[in-house]
Amino acid sequence: MSLYSQRGVSAQKEEVHAATKNLDQGLYPNAFCKLYKDFVGNDDNWVNVMHADGAGTKSILAYLYWKETGDISVWKGIAQDAVVMNIDDLLCVGIYDNLLFSSTIDRNKSVIPGEILEEIINGTKGVFDWLSTFGVNIHYLGGETADVGDVVRSIAVNGTMAARWPKNKIISNDKIKAGNVIVGLASFGKATYESEYNSGIGSNGLTSARHDVLNKYYAENYSNTYEPTLKDEVVYIGKHRMTDPINIDGYDTNIGKLILSPTRTYAPVVREILEKHFDGIDGMIHCSGGGQTKCLKYLPRPMKVIKDNLFKPPVIFNIIQEASKSTPQEMYQVFNMGHRLEIFTNENTAGEIIKISEDFGIEAKVVGRVEESDKKELLLKGSFGEIAF
């Protein structure tokens, strides 16, 4: 059993998918988000979507960093994580403007003071103001903030995003086909619209990152940051403290900031891609939960995805793998490992997508292709060898 499973989490969310298998899959079952008929405007040419996601256990890392350094600004990154995990999912169905957002914050008041709530709420508004400068408009409709100390040990930051969108501008993934090439957009580096180096970690796999990278000091001093029934050998088994310095590509940072890098949004890039090359886009995948295997869930029919030109994994994933001794298969199932967005397209459009992405300071390249097959399958190739799913 992997360390990830021993800690009570699942990269593939098997039980969640089993519990929801009988629900309506919406108008486009292969789309990255569920899309429904236009109940709001009652127009057959439009669709409605309501999507929920959040920062996951990354908020525990923010709590530890704040306790150790006193830097309350780290909570703005958690606000960004909760927003981006919603908007970047919606980007994958072609939606990037005129969205509604409602936040849900559950906190343990005994350890999370009011100033942290202010930082998160004001940080959320700040993300919306920032994105509006790129023509991505999100309207903040408030939400629910609850003191539920019997339920959460620290804080959980989540959100729900809704939109109404024209049906003829939807990316449903139904067009994904043999002959497509796959353009990956890097999750790491420093985009033109980012203020500092981004490790690329996003908001998935943070349970693993936290326990594998940080040392026993945190178990001994912050027992409220992990499930008390976990075995000692899977709790904070790394060698680092949050404040350990590290230099990445010339950027001076520390371990805490590396694993707390706010999730990069691709919204400014995707907005331009969709406005200029919508007809050339056959599918889009946000490599979030499930990492590089995420695409298998959204293939419209049996076919083989081959990714044989993957990005070299950024440093944060090397640190995690070294600490956890995880296999390449486990790493690529849990983490994005270098690109968090992939676009299925043709070779000509691929070149245009790469240029747009690079204009925003984000490395992009063709990472793979789609071939005919009698089953849904994925093959990853790299310095690690070959991994089949």
- Give yes or no for residue 18 having a pLDDT over 90: no
Distances (CA, A) of 357 to 92, 128, 286, 306, 342: 16, 21, 16, 22, 12
Percent of the chain with pLDDT over 70: 95
Taking only the tens place, the pLDDT of each residue in 129-159 is 999 999 999 999 999 999 999 999 999 999 9
pLDDT bucket at 44, cuts 50 / 70 / 90: very high
The mean pLDDT value for 8-34 works out to 75
CA dihedral 56, 296, 380, 94 (to 10 degrees): -70
In this prediction, residue 251 carries a pLDDT of: 87
Tell me what the pLDDT averaged over the chain comes to: 94
How large is the average pLDDT for residues 249-271? 95
CA distance 383 to 389: 17
| pLDDT band, very low/low/confident/very high, at 25 (cuts 50, 70, 90) | confident
- Does residue 381 lie within any of the structural domains? yes
Does the pLDDT at position 9 exceed 90? Answer: no
- Classify residue 227: in a domain, yes or no: no
Confidence category of residue 23, pLDDT binned at 50, 70, 90? confident
Q: Is 275 helix (H, G, I), strand (E, B) or coil?
A: helix
Q: Which of 294, 354, 345, 292 is nearest to 181 (CA)?
A: 345
Q: Is the pLDDT of residue 10 over 70?
A: no
Using DSSP bridges, classify how beta strands 303-307 and 377-382 pair: parallel, antiparallel or unpaired. parallel
Instruction: Give the per-residue SS3 of 23-41.
Output: CCCCCCCCCCCCCEECCCC
Residue 379 has pLDDT above 60, yes or no: yes
Give the rounded distance of the alpha carbon of 238 from its chain centre: 23
Task: Enumerate the β-bridge partners of residue 184.
Answer: 342, 365
Q: List, for residues 50-69, the tens digit of each pLDDT value.
A: 999 999 999 999 999 999 99
What is the CB neighbour count within 10 angstroms for residue 238? 20
Confidence of residue 250 (pLDDT cuts 50, 70, 90): confident
Q: Determine, yes or no, domain membership for 251.
A: no
Residue type, 115: E
Asked if residue 241 is part of any domain, the answer here is no
How many CB atoms are located within 10 Å of the residue 39 CB? 10
Three-class secondary structure of residue 308 per DSSP? coil
Residue-wise pLDDT tens digits, 76-115? 999 999 999 999 999 999 999 999 999 999 999 999 999 9
Q: What is the CATH number of the domain that holds 191?
A: 3.30.1330.10
Distance CA(58)–CA(84), nearest Å, equals 13
On the question of pLDDT at 357 being above 70, the answer is yes
Is 224 part of any domain?
Answer: no
Are the C-beta atoms of residues 137 and 95 closer than 8 Å to each other?
Answer: no
The amino acid occupying position 105 is I
State how far the Cα of 242 lies from the Cα of 255, in Å rounded to an integer: 5
The pLDDT of residue 277 is 98
Containing structural domain, residue 364: 3-195+261-388
DSSP for residue 241: -
Q: What is the pLDDT of residue 1?
A: 53
Q: DSSP for 118-137, please give it.
A: HHHHHHHHHHHHHHHTTT--
Residue 225 lies in a domain: no
Residue 189 lies in a domain: yes
If we measure between CA atoms, which residue out of 351, 138, 170, 362 comes closest to residue 266? Answer: 362
Smallest CA-to-CA distance from 354 within 31, 84, 346 is with: 346
| 43 part of a folded domain | yes
Pair of tokens at residue 143? 């939400």
Closest CA to 53 of 76, 87, 24, 23: 87
Please name which of 316, 309, 330 lies closest in space to residue 380, comparing C-alpha atoms.
309
Q: How many domains does the chain have?
A: 1
Encode pLDDT of 291-344 as tens digits. Answer: 999 999 999 999 999 999 999 999 999 999 998 899 999 999 999 999 999 999
- Tens of pLDDT, residue by residue over 215-238, are 999 999 999 999 999 999 999 999
pLDDT in tens, 320-335: 999 889 999 999 999 9
Q: What's the rounded Cα separation, in Å, for the pair 137 and 353?
A: 22
The confidence band for 7, taking pLDDT boundaries of 50, 70 and 90, is low
Quote the pLDDT of residue 24. Answer: 77
Q: What percent of the chain has pLDDT over 90?
A: 90
Q: How far apart are CA 369 and CA 344, in angstroms?
A: 8
